[in-house]
């Protein structure tokens, strides 16, 4: 879909009360010129309304999609390619940074356009728009690179492809012996659950292990239609994971995240990653500090089941990969030169001494 078409769709879906088209703010128009704007009817239905039936602007779902003039504010530490994908792209549509796995972006279109997206400038008709021949070239690269154990379909959103096209890609991947695992990162199950049709589910049935990482940031996004879509995916054999971006004023407190992760676990979705928001251009209003993220994840650890604990992750700017950044619960005992002496922190914020096993591993 072209950017103009996306904008048209957006307008047609009754979002005028969110963007206030009656008196268009020129700066807001500038935002829409620069970045894709898009929201589905399904998402609109999850946004709370006021006494007059108008969508509430500071609603945690609305804030994720509603264009905001603060997107024009770019801070010096923000980058066009925040996580350094571009230098690691051997062929169009592939990012191969880690030996055992590649990102494969078969489309640059999404069902919705998230304002904080770390690829927001490259979407739509941008960098990741692939032609048929590009897809073949990407598949050939995967086929010819024996180290690739896992293929991560992302984008854009792979589930906006037609079931037929997706099936073609999955069939090709299934036939490649060294590819053991296929992973799909998608926002479609929550943002456009009607796209999870029987035909789509049939296309997703494959002999290879298929993991689906669903992007969701707030429990309010999980409508009953989204639940049904996730159930269908589960029934089709997908192992369901979630990924969440820590976002200021949207989900940056332990209670909100606890409600989200409990909901996910109760519908068979294992929270996988909680991402620290990337330094994408024009997204500073969404970013928390690492310290805040550590505090929130520590609270979550105190209160909720181990199943509700995703790994809190930072993607190091410049293409150095993802690392866990939650606070550490163990440190070497500083008063002691013995490497086997540790201090460990419990859930009541009490430190304990832990003396390591006095084994004979020093021999080797
Ligand atoms: C995020 C990412 C992956 C996947 O990382 P996991 O830690 O396995 O989820 C792989 N390749 C690139 C380039 C990435 O940015
Ligand atoms: S669905 Fe994913 S890729 Fe698309 S705009 Fe949202 S965060 Fe970005």
Taking the centre of ligand 2 as the mean of its atom positions, its distance from the CA of residue 109, in whole angstroms, is 9
- pLDDT at residue 2 in the model: 42
Q: Which of 114, 115, 185 to mutate to test the pocket of ligand 2 (most atoms within 8 A of CB)?
A: 114
Taking the centre of ligand 1 as the mean of its atom positions, its distance from the CA of residue 206, in whole angstroms, is 22
- Who contacts 11 (Cβ-Cβ below 8 Å, separation ≥6)? 21
Contacts 24+ apart (CB under 8 A), 172-175: 172/139, 172/143, 173/139, 173/142, 173/206, 173/208, 174/206, 174/207, 174/208
CA distance 112 to 160: 10
Identify which ligand lies nearest to the alpha carbon of 116. 2
3-state secondary structure of 151: strand
Q: Which atom of ligand 2 is nearest to the CA of 156?
A: 3
Taking the centre of ligand 2 as the mean of its atom positions, its distance from the CA of residue 33, in whole angstroms, is 18
- pLDDT at residue 11 in the model: 45
- pLDDT at residue 6 in the model: 43
Calculate the CA 135 to chain-centre distance.
Answer: 23
- Whose CA is closest to atom 5 on ligand 1? 322
- pLDDT at residue 62 in the model: 96
- pLDDT at residue 310 in the model: 98
CA distance 237 to 62: 32
Average pLDDT by stretches of 10, the chain with 364 residues: 45 47 73 90 95 92 94 89 83 95 94 91 74 95 98 94 96 98 98 98 96 98 98 98 98 98 98 96 95 98 97 93 96 80 93 85 54
pTM of the model: 0.92
Could you tell me which residues are beta bridge partners of residue 211? 183, 239
């Amino acid at each position: 879909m072209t950017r103009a078409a996306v904008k048209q769709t957006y307008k047609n879906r009754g979002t005028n009360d969110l963007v206030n088209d009656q008196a268009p703010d020129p700066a807001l128009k500038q935002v829409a010129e620069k970045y894709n704007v898009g929201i589905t009817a399904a998402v609109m239905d999850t946004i709370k309304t006021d006494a007059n039936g108008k969508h509430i602007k500071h609603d945690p779902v609305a804030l994720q999609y509603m264009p905001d003039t603060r997107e024009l504010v770019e801070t010096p530490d923000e980058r066009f390619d925040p996580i350094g994908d571009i230098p690691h792209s051997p062929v169009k549509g592939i990012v191969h940074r880690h030996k055992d796995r590649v990102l494969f972006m078969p489309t640059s279109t999404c069902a919705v356009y998230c304002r904080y997206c770390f690829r927001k400038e490259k979407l739509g008709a941008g960098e990741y728009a692939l032609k048929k021949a590009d897809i073949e070239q990407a598949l050939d690269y995967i086929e010819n690179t024996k180290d690739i154990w896992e293929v991560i379909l992302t984008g854009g959103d792979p589930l906006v492809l037609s079931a037929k096209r997706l099936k073609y890609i999955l069939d090709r991947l299934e036939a490649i012996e060294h590819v053991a695992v296929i992973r799909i990162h998608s926002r479609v199950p929550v943002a456009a659950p009607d796209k999870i049709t029987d035909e789509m589910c049939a296309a997703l049935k494959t002999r290879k292990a298929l993991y689906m990482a669903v992007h969701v940031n707030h429990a309010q996004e999980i409508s009953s239609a989204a639940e049904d879509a996730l159930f269908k995916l589960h029934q089709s054999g997908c192992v369901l994971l979630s990924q969440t971006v820590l976002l200021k004023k949207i989900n940056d407190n332990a209670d909100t995240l606890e409600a989200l992760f409990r909901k996910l676990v109760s519908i068979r979705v294992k929270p996988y990653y909680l991402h620290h928001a990337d330094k994408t251009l024009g997204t500073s209003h969404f970013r928390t500090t690492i310290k805040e993220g550590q505090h929130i994840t520590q609270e979550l650890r105190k209160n909720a089941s181990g199943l509700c604990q995703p790994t809190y992750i930072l993607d190091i700017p410049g293409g150095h990969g993802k690392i866990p950044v939650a606070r550490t619960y163990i440190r070497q005992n500083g008063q002691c030169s013995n490497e086997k002496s540790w201090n460990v922190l419990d859930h009541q914020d009490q430190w304990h001494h832990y003396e390591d096993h006095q084994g004979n591993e020093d021999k080797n």
